Amino acid sequence: MTDDSYFKHHVFFCLNQREAPNSCCANHQATSAWKHCKTRVKALGLNGAGGVRINQAGCMDRCAGGPVLVVYPEAVWYTYVDEQDIDEIISSHLQKGQVVERLRIDPAVGR
């Protein structure tokens, strides 16, 4: 963490909802995943200044890889299927600084 960073990690979950038949993260339980992540990070005492911040976001234009979240400052983009995937991101990336390669989305994936 640099001296000018307020959080060690800042995590944004896309919670965007689109009209059918368009793909969107909200159709893949993104809100539940965001809530689970926020609750788990807090329970582990990782939240707050110098720690981890979990935020919701609108469309991040990576719909084809959805549901998606991004971890800054590393700018690592992930997809996930269930709470176990979220727990792995927390444990590996947020706690140990190790990227979860199997959950990364291809850099070329867009809308």
Predicted TM-score (pTM) of this structure: 0.91
What is the residue extent of each domain of the chain?
Answer: 9-103
Q: What is the pLDDT of residue 1?
A: 45
CATH fold label, 9-103: Glutaredoxin (3.40.30)
Average pLDDT over residues 84-107: 97
**Three-class SS of residue 52?**
strand
Share of the chain above pLDDT 90, in %: 73
Q: Tell whether the model's pLDDT for residue 111 goes beyond 80.
A: no
